[in-house]
């Protein structure tokens, strides 16, 4: 399975949560959206282990199964559709998570996140 990982699941894995580690080990491909990188690095700046956290992230990103994913023109169309859908439903979610969902849908990836607000997007495959 090809998964797109959310910030909270990366953090769970780094804390050694066995269920999360098992999912990541079994994944054929682990895709990290640009937004997740930004959120992680923001968190690193607030902690006392900036260098260590960045080195661990770089090790993870250089593994053959990991890829970084950036938006393109098609992503912006998917993003716009999702924002409109969420607005019409009256169920807004954080903007960074809309970008994450748009990338997952666009690239036919399964989202690995623990945020329940993604439930408002039934077209989004999730673990």
Supply the CATH number for residue 75's domain: 3.40.50.1010
Answer yes or no: is 107 within a domain: yes
Q: Measure the CA–CA gap between 69 and 36, rounded to whole angstroms.
A: 10
Mean pLDDT within 10-34: 96
- Residue 34 pLDDT: 98
Answer yes or no: is 126 within a domain: no
Mean pLDDT within 21-31: 96
pLDDT bracket for residue 62 (50, 70, 90): very high
Q: Measure the CA–CA gap between 80 and 86, rounded to whole angstroms.
A: 10
Answer yes or no: is 78 within a domain: yes
Answer yes or no: is 112 within a domain: yes
Q: Give the model confidence (pLDDT) of 37-47 as tens digits.
A: 999 999 999 99
Answer yes or no: is 71 within a domain: yes
Mean pLDDT within 69-75: 98
Domain count, the chain: 1
Question: Model pTM?
Answer: 0.94
Answer yes or no: is 125 within a domain: no
Q: Give the model confidence (pLDDT) of 86-102 as tens digits.
A: 999 999 999 999 999 99
Domain containing 26 equals: 2-120
**Residue 74, token pair as written in the block:** 């098609």
Mean model confidence pLDDT for the chain? 97
The count of other CB atoms within 10 Å of the CB of residue 22 is 11
């Amino acid at each position: 399975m090809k998964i797109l990982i959310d910030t909270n699941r990366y953090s769970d894995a780094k804390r050694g949560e066995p269920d999360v580690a098992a999912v990541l080990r079994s994944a054929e491909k682990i895709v990290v959206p640009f937004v997740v990188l930004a959120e992680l690095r923001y968190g690193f700046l607030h902690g006392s282990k900036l260098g260590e956290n960045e080195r661990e992230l770089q090790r993870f990103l250089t593994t053959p199964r990991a890829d970084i994913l950036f938006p393109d023109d098609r992503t912006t169309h998917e993003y716009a559709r999702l924002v409109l859908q969420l607005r019409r439903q009256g169920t807004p979610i954080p903007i960074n998570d809309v970008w994450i969902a748009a990338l997952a849908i666009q690239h036919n990836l399964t989202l690995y996140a623990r945020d329940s607000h993604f439930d408002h997007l039934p077209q989004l495959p999730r673990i």
